[in-house]
Structure 1
Amino acid sequence: MLKRSLFAIGLLAANAVWAQPKKDYPVQAVNFTAVQFTDNFWLPRMKINHTVTIPASFARCESTGRVKNFEMAAAHSGKFCTTYPFDDTDIYKTIEGASFSLSLFPDKKLEAYIDSLIDKVAKAQEPDGYLYTARTIDPTSPHAWAGNERWVKERELSHELYNAGHLYEAAYAHYYATGKKNLLNIALKNADLVCSVFGPDKRHVAPGHEIVEMGLVKLYRITGKPEYLQTAKFFIEERGHYDKYDAKSKDPWKNGAYWQDEVPVVDQREAVGHAVRAGYLYSAVADVAALTGDEKLLQAIDSIWENVVTKKIYVQGGLGAIPSGERFGDNYELPNATAYNETCAAIAGVYWNYRMFLLHGESKYMDVLEKMLYNGLISGVGLDGKSFFYTNAMQIRNNASHRSMEPARSGWFECSCCPTNLTRLIPSIPGYVYALKGDAVYVNLFVSGNASIPVHGKPVNIVQQNNYPWDGALSFTVSPQKSDAFSLLVRIPGWAGNQAIPSDLYSFTDNQNCKVTISVNGQPVDYILDKGYAVIKRTWKKGDVLKVNMPMNVRRVAANEKVKDDQGKVALQRGPLIYCAEWADNDGKAANILLPADAAFQASFKPDLLNGVEILQSDLPVITVDEKAQTVSTTRKTVTAIPYYAWANRGKGEMMVWFPVKVRDIDIYPTAP
C-alpha cells in the first residue's frame, strides 16, 4: 500500500516538476497518499465506505440510469432518463471517492470497474471536449434546464460548468491515487474548451452552481497551465456584474444572492444564498487568493468566514439554516425545528476551512473543520454505510407541528448529491491530518496511523497512537532518518480550553481549568502556544515519543442570546463531539428532558452500542404527562445522551440537541397522528 502511494507521488513529481506555482498557500498540505490510518474510529468508516457505500453508489448510478445517460450520449440516441442535468456528477463524485479509497485499499476489481466507467465517459465526450449528457444525447431536444444552445442557461439552471468542476475534481484524485491519465485527459480536454469559451474577451458568466473554479485550480496544480488559474479567477470576478435582474429586489432568485452573485466577490462580507454553492465558492476564492496574491479576495474571504463563525453556524457545525433555497439565513437565524443543514454544506465547509488554515496557519480553522467533521458531516451517513440524511435535523418531536424535515434516513435521493459527496470526502480525510510550513510540521487531526512527511528534504515518520475522540491522551512517535532539528506544532483544540467555537456564538457555561500537558520521552515540556498550536522545537531523534494529554470533561454549551431558539437552553459537548438525547435510550422520548445547572454527567464507553460510543448519563428531571388524570409533573430519571453523529440508526423517534434548563411555560399540542 505504501509502495503504491509513493509511486503515485513520484509519478506526479516526475511529470509536473515544471508546474509548481510561483505563489501558493503559506502552509502546504501533506498529500492523502502519505498518511495511513490504523485507528478504531475512522478506519472502520473508510472500510465501510469502500465495501458498502461506494459499491452501493455505483449500483444506484447503474439502476437509476445515470450510467445509461453516458451510454446514450456516446450513441447520440435515446432520451435523458434521469431527473436533473447534474446527475452526471454522481458518477464523477463516486469515481473520486473510489480513487481516494484505492490508495487506502488496493482493489483490482474496483479499479477495473472505474476504468470501464471512464471509458464510457470518454465515449460520451464530444470531439471538442464538451461533456454534458443532458444535451449530447439529443442536441435538438436537450433537458429543459439546458437551453437550446450550450451555456445559455449556465447562470441559473444548466449546471454545465458544475458538471465540469466535479469531473476535474475526480480526475485530480484519480490521477494522484493511481497515476493513470485516462480520466485526467478527458478533464483537460474539457477544461481547454471551457477556457476557450469563457474569458474577458469571450463569453461572460458567473457559474450558477460553483465548483468549476476549485476544479480548474486543481488542474492548474497538475499542469501549470496558466489559463486554468486565469479562468477560475475570471469566474470569481464575474460575480455581481449583471444588469439582467433587479439588483434591489429582495428576492434572492432575482438579485443573484441565491448563487452569491448579487455584488462582486471582493465586496462580499456576509455568507448568503445556497450554502453548498457558497462553500464551494469560498473555497475557490481562498485558492485563487493564495495562488495570485489577490489581497482584496483575501479580505473578502476573511470577512465572510468571520460572519459564518460568529453568526451563521449551528453548534454541531451545520451550515444553511433555511429549507427554502437550502440557504443561509439572516444573522443569528438558527432555528432548530426547521434546521436544514445539508450534508453537502458540511462537506463544503470542510473544504473551505482547510483552505483558510492553509492561508493563515491558525488552529481556529481546524477547530471549525473538526466540529463539522465529527458531528454535522458524518451524521449524514448511517452506520450501515448505505442510509443517508440529506438534511441534518437539530430536533425531532412527536408533535406534528414540531416535526423536523427528515426524521429517518433514506437509501437514496432523486437529487443524490449528498450520498455521492460522502463517498469522496470520507476517504480523503488522511489529507487533512498534517501540514508543513518550512521545517514546521502541523498536527491537525488526531487519528492513529503513520505518516511519512518530508522535512529538510528527508522523510520523517510519525506514528500516532490514541483513542480519539473518546480519549484525550495522545501519543506520537517521531522518527527522522537522522537526528534533525525542526518544530512539531500540535493543535490544542479550543474545546480543550474554554472555547466552544472561535467566537461568542457559542460558549461553555463554566470556566474550567483544563490544562493540556505535554511530555517528550517521559519528561514534561513547557511549550509555547502560537496561533492555537503547541510548538515543540527540538532536535528530534528516531523513536522520540511525544505525549499530549487533553482533559475531556463534559461541557455545557450556551448560545449567544441573539439566537432566539436556544435561549434558556444548553447543549452537551465532550471533546470534539456534540451530544444529543434520542428516544431509543430514554423511554421513547427526548423532548421532555430538562438539564438544570447542577446536573453532573458520567461518561462510559459502550462497545456494543452504535458500533461503539461513549455515552453520557445523568439523573435529570423529565416532564411526564398523565393523560388519564390530565396532569403534568416532573420525575427524575436516568437520561442517556449519545454522540449526535450516531442518531437515527435505530429507527424513527424523538431527538434533541438543545435542552431547557428549567420549565418556564408549557405549550399544548394535539397528539401526533
Structure 2
Amino acid sequence: MKRVIISIAFSFVSFLSLGQFQKDYPYSGVPFTKVKLNDNFWLPKLEINRTVTIPWSFQKSKETGRIKNFEQAVAHTGKLCTTYPFDDSDIYKIIEGAAYSLHVKYDAKLDTYLDSLITLIGKAQEPDGYLYTTRTMGDTSHPWIGKERYEKEHELSHELYNMGHFYEAASAHYLATGKKNMLTIALKNADHLLTVFGPGKKDVAPGHQVIEIGLVKLYRITGKKEYLNLSKFFIDCRGKRTYEKKTGDKEATVWQTGAYWQDNIPVVQQTEAVGHSVRAGYLYAGMADVASLTNNLEYLTAITKIWDNAFTKKTYITGGLGQAGNWEGFGPDYELSNHSAYCETCAAISSVYWNHRMFMMYGDAKYIDILERTLYNGLISGIGLDGKTFNYENPMEYTVKNGKLTGENKRSPWFTCSCCPTNICRFMPSIPGYIYAQKDNRVYVNLFVSNTTTLEVAPKETVTITQTTNYPWEGNIKINVEPQNKKGLFYAMYVRIPGWAKNQAFPTDLYAYKGTLVKEVSVKVNGQPQALKSENGYIAIERLWKKGDVIEIDLPMEVRQTIAHAKVKDNIGKIAIEYGPIVYCAEFADNNGHTSNLIVPEKQQFQTSFQPNLLNGVMTLKGKASAINILDDFSVNTTTQPLVLIPYYARSNRGQGEMRVWFPTRIKNLEILTE
C-alpha cells in the first residue's frame, strides 16, 4: 500500500513539472513526499505528531462535539455542540495532517478512520454542494452566521474559511493516498461557490482568509481555471466595503475601518501589515499564489511592501507576529511589547506559508532566514513536548505582578477555539517540504536536516542527495551527492548560508548582533575550500557532480547577544541570547524560581552544554547573572548567581513560573511602590 501512495504522489508532482500550467512560481519547493528524514531534531517531533497529537486531536474533537456537529447535520436537526461555527475546520485540519502522516508511515487503521470521517462529511453536505454543519442542522441562532447563507461572510460566519481548510485537506488526502473520496466533496462545494460568487453575482471579501489558498490548490489538481479566477475575485473584493468610522481607541479603529479583515483599502494599495495576523498571513500567501499563476505584478508589489513593513517593524525575535491580543494582530510600527506579545501559533504557521511563497517567487534566502527563525522558535513553541498540550499565545516573558503570573504560561490540552492545536497537526508533517527547492537545473538547500532525497535535475537524469548533520545544536553539515549517471551530472547546488552565520541577526535592521563572529563560514567540496561568493544568500557550486562527491559546510555556532532597533522601546538597554538559529530564554525552573530580577552583563560569557535528558534533549547555555533580591526587612541587595538558558521553544513544559527572553544589562533606575 505504501508503495502505491508514493507512486501516486510522485506522479502528480511530475505531472505538474511537465508544464500543464503555463505560469507558476519560478522556484519550486521539493514536496515532502520526496524527502525522507532520519534526523535527531525534527523526526522525533514528527513522530510525536503522528502518534500523539493527531490521535489526541481526534479524541478531543469527539469529546467536544466537533464530530457530533457533522452527525447532526446529517440528521438535519440539533444545536451547535461547540462554541464557534468555524469548528468544522478543526476536523479538516486534523484530516490534512493525518493524510500527510499516512505517507510518512502508513497506518491502515488511521486510513480506515479517515474514510469513515470523509463519508460522514459527505453525508453532511447539502445536495447543491453547500457544507456548513451549523446551518445544515437547522441552528441559525448563533449571532455570527445570519439567517441566510453567506449573509455574514464578510464578518465572522467563516463559511468560506471552513471550505478553504477543507480544500487544503482534500488536496493533501488525494496527493497522499490517491483516493478521490474527499476531493469529490471539495469539488462539489467549489462548483457550488462558482454559482454564488463572482462578477455579476455575490460580491464579498471573506471574513477569514484561506479560501484563496484552497481554491488555488484545487486549480493545480484539476486545471479548472474558474477556481483560480474565483480565488482572485475574493482577493479583489477587499477594500470595497464601507465601514462606519468613529474616533476611539486603537481597537475601535482596527474594527471600524475594516483593517481587522485587511478590508480597509484594495489589496493592491496596501503597504502595511494590519489587522488580524493569521488572516493577513493567509491573504498574502493567497495573493502570492494567484500572482505566480497570473503574473499579477500589482499583487507582487503590494505583498513585497507589506513584507518589508511586517519584518522591518512588526516581528518578534522568535519570528512571532501579532502584538495586540485584542484583535490577535499587528499593532503600530515598533510596538513590540514583551509581556503582552500575542504571537499566535497560527500566525507563525501563516508566516511560514507566506515566506516560503516569497522565496519561491524571488529565490532570496532572506525569506528562508525568516522561515527558519519562525520554525525553530515561534512555531514549535506552540506545542508541548508531550504532543498534547498547547500554547495559543507565545509571549516574550512571564512575570509575577501583584502575586499573579502574567501571560498564558500554562499549556492547555485543548481550547474552546482550538485552531492552533489542529493547525500544528497539519503543519508538522509538511516540514520536510521546506528543505529543498529547484529551479531549472539548480538545487537549493534551504534547511539543514538529516535526510535523503532523489531529484530530477535534467530530463531523465536524477541525483540522490543525503544530508547528515546535528543541526541546530552543531554547525557541521555534510551533503553527499550521488548522480544516477555513472559519467556524472552537471548542475548547480545552491547552499543557503544563514544570516546568523554571516553576522546578520535579521534580514532587516530590526535586530542586530553585538560584536562580530570569531569564526567564519567554511564550505568544502571533496575537502577543497570553495570561494564564498554569495548570490541572494546562497553559495553556488556548479560542477560535474560524480558519485561520492561531498560538500562540507561548517557554520560558526557561537553564543550571540542580540539587540533590537532603538525604536523598540520595550527592549532599550536589553539583550537577547541566541545560538545558531535558536532563541534562548531563562525559565524559573533553572534560575531560583525567578527571571524578572535578572541582569545579564554585556560581557557575560556562556558555556554550551547538551543535556540529553532535559526537555527531550536540548543545548543549554550556562553563565552568570546579577539578581536583585528584596529581603524580609524590605532592603534590597544584588547577588551573583548561575544563569541557565534553554531554547525558547522548550519553555512551559515544567509547570508555571517566570520566563524571560530579553534581559537588562544594567540597573538604570528602581521604582519604589507604596500601598
TM-score bin, normalised by smaller chain:
over 0.9
Secondary structure at the aligned position of 1:85 is classed as coil
Structure 1 pair 213–54 and aligned structure 2 pair: CA distance change class (3 A): same
Assess if the C-alpha contact under 8 Å between 1:393 and 1:404 holds in 2: no
Is 1:623 aligned to 2:637, yes or no? no
Distance in structure 2 (CA, Å) of the matches to 1:400 and 1:534: 53
Question: Which residue of 2 is the match for residue 489 of structure 1?
Answer: 494
Assess if the C-alpha contact under 8 Å between 2:451 and 2:468 holds in 1: yes
Is 1:478 aligned to 2:477, yes or no? no
Structure 1 pair 668–459 and aligned structure 2 pair: CA distance change class (3 A): farther
Structure 1 pair 401–568 and aligned structure 2 pair: CA distance change class (3 A): farther
Question: Which residue of 1 is the match for residue 310 of structure 2?
Answer: 308
Assess if the C-alpha contact under 8 Å between 1:399 and 1:670 holds in 2: no
Select 2:394's aligned residue among 392, 395, 400.
392
Deviations 1:552-604 (A, max 9, x none): 00000000010010001000000000000001011111111111111111111
State the shift of 1:101 in Å.
1.0
Distance in structure 1 (CA, Å) of the matches to 2:254 and 2:452: 47
Of all paired residues, the percent bearing the same amino acid is 54
Worse overlay, 513-522 or 16-25: 16-25
Is 1:531 aligned to 2:531, yes or no? no
Assess if the C-alpha contact under 8 Å between 1:93 and 1:166 holds in 2: yes
Secondary structure at the aligned position of 2:391 is classed as coil
Distance in structure 2 (CA, Å) of the matches to 1:582 and 1:404: 14
Is 1:171 aligned to 2:184, yes or no? no
The one-letter code of the counterpart of 2:212 is: E
Distance in structure 1 (CA, Å) of the matches to 2:5 and 2:539: 30
State the shift of 1:520 in Å.
1.2
Distance in structure 2 (CA, Å) of the matches to 1:72 and 1:378: 35
Distance in structure 2 (CA, Å) of the matches to 1:433 and 1:39: 12
Assess if the C-alpha contact under 8 Å between 1:273 and 1:325 holds in 2: yes
Is 1:199 aligned to 2:198, yes or no? yes
Distance in structure 2 (CA, Å) of the matches to 1:15 and 1:551: 41
Deviations 1:318-341 (A, max 9, x none): 100101110100000100111111
Distance in structure 1 (CA, Å) of the matches to 2:451 and 2:259: 43
Question: Which residue of 2 is the match for residue 92 of structure 1?
Answer: 92
Assess if the C-alpha contact under 8 Å between 1:135 and 1:143 holds in 2: no
State the shift of 1:245 in Å.
3.6
Is 1:381 aligned to 2:374, yes or no? no
RMSD, matched Cα: 1.7
State the shift of 1:254 in Å.
1.9
Worse overlay, 97-106 or 417-426: 97-106
Assess if the C-alpha contact under 8 Å between 1:19 and 1:223 holds in 2: no
Question: Which residue of 2 is the match for residue 229 of structure 1?
Answer: 228
The one-letter code of the counterpart of 1:619 is: K
Secondary structure at the aligned position of 1:555 is classed as strand
Assess if the C-alpha contact under 8 Å between 1:135 and 1:142 holds in 2: no
Name the TM-score, length of structure 2 as normaliser.
Answer: 0.97
Name the TM-score, length of structure 1 as normaliser.
Answer: 0.97
Structure 1 pair 113–15 and aligned structure 2 pair: CA distance change class (3 A): farther
Deviations 1:225-282 (A, max 9, x none): 0001101011111100113544998622221100100000000000000000000001
Deviations 1:586-623 (A, max 9, x none): 11111111111111111110001000000001122222
Assess if the C-alpha contact under 8 Å between 2:2 and 2:106 holds in 1: no
Distance in structure 2 (CA, Å) of the matches to 1:17 and 1:659: 49
The one-letter code of the counterpart of 2:148 is: E
Assess if the C-alpha contact under 8 Å between 1:412 and 1:419 holds in 2: yes
Deviations 1:409-466 (A, max 9, x none): 0000000000000001111001111000000000011110111111103221111100
Is 1:635 aligned to 2:639, yes or no? yes
Structure 1 pair 490–206 and aligned structure 2 pair: CA distance change class (3 A): same
Question: Which residue of 2 is the match for residue 465 of structure 1?
Answer: 468
Distance in structure 2 (CA, Å) of the matches to 1:329 and 1:150: 33
Secondary structure at the aligned position of 1:251 is classed as helix
State the shift of 1:511 in Å.
2.2
Deviations 1:371-398 (A, max 9, x none): 1000010000000000000000211112
1:37-116 correspondence runs (5 A): 37-116=37-116
Assess if the C-alpha contact under 8 Å between 1:19 and 1:221 holds in 2: no
The one-letter code of the counterpart of 2:650 is: A
Structure 1 pair 402–539 and aligned structure 2 pair: CA distance change class (3 A): farther
How many matched pairs? 669
Assess if the C-alpha contact under 8 Å between 1:497 and 1:513 holds in 2: no
Distance in structure 1 (CA, Å) of the matches to 2:19 and 2:168: 18
Distance in structure 2 (CA, Å) of the matches to 1:21 and 1:152: 35
Select 1:548's aligned residue among 537, 546, 553.
553
Assess if the C-alpha contact under 8 Å between 1:337 and 1:402 holds in 2: no
1:179-578 correspondence runs (5 A): 179-243=178-242, 245-246=244-245, 251-400=253-402, 403-457=405-459, 458-482=461-485, 483-578=488-583
Secondary structure at the aligned position of 1:535 is classed as strand
Worse overlay, 267-276 or 614-623: 614-623
Assess if the C-alpha contact under 8 Å between 1:484 and 1:539 holds in 2: yes
The one-letter code of the counterpart of 2:408 is: E
The one-letter code of the counterpart of 1:197 is: V
State the shift of 1:527 in Å.
3.6
Worse overlay, 112-121 or 73-82: 73-82
Distance in structure 2 (CA, Å) of the matches to 1:547 and 1:669: 58
Show structure 2 runs of 5+ residues with no match.
Answer: none
Distance in structure 2 (CA, Å) of the matches to 1:195 and 1:387: 40
Assess if the C-alpha contact under 8 Å between 2:405 and 2:657 holds in 1: no
Distance in structure 2 (CA, Å) of the matches to 1:446 and 1:100: 21
Worse overlay, 381-390 or 516-525: 516-525
Assess if the C-alpha contact under 8 Å between 2:620 and 2:646 holds in 1: yes
Question: Which residue of 1 is the match for residue 133 of structure 2?
Answer: 133
Distance in structure 2 (CA, Å) of the matches to 1:220 and 1:144: 33
State the shift of 1:12 in Å.
2.6
Structure 1 pair 305–6 and aligned structure 2 pair: CA distance change class (3 A): same
Structure 1 pair 616–396 and aligned structure 2 pair: CA distance change class (3 A): same
Distance in structure 2 (CA, Å) of the matches to 1:529 and 1:281: 32
Assess if the C-alpha contact under 8 Å between 2:6 and 2:103 holds in 1: no
Deviations 1:161-208 (A, max 9, x none): 000000001011111111111111111111111122111111100000
Question: Which residue of 2 is the match for residue 647 of structure 1?
Answer: 651
Assess if the C-alpha contact under 8 Å between 1:16 and 1:223 holds in 2: no
Select 2:608's aligned residue among 580, 603, 608.
603
Structure 1 pair 640–451 and aligned structure 2 pair: CA distance change class (3 A): same
Assess if the C-alpha contact under 8 Å between 1:19 and 1:225 holds in 2: no
Structure 1 pair 597–575 and aligned structure 2 pair: CA distance change class (3 A): same
Distance in structure 1 (CA, Å) of the matches to 2:212 and 2:477: 38
The one-letter code of the counterpart of 1:488 is: M
Secondary structure at the aligned position of 1:86 is classed as coil
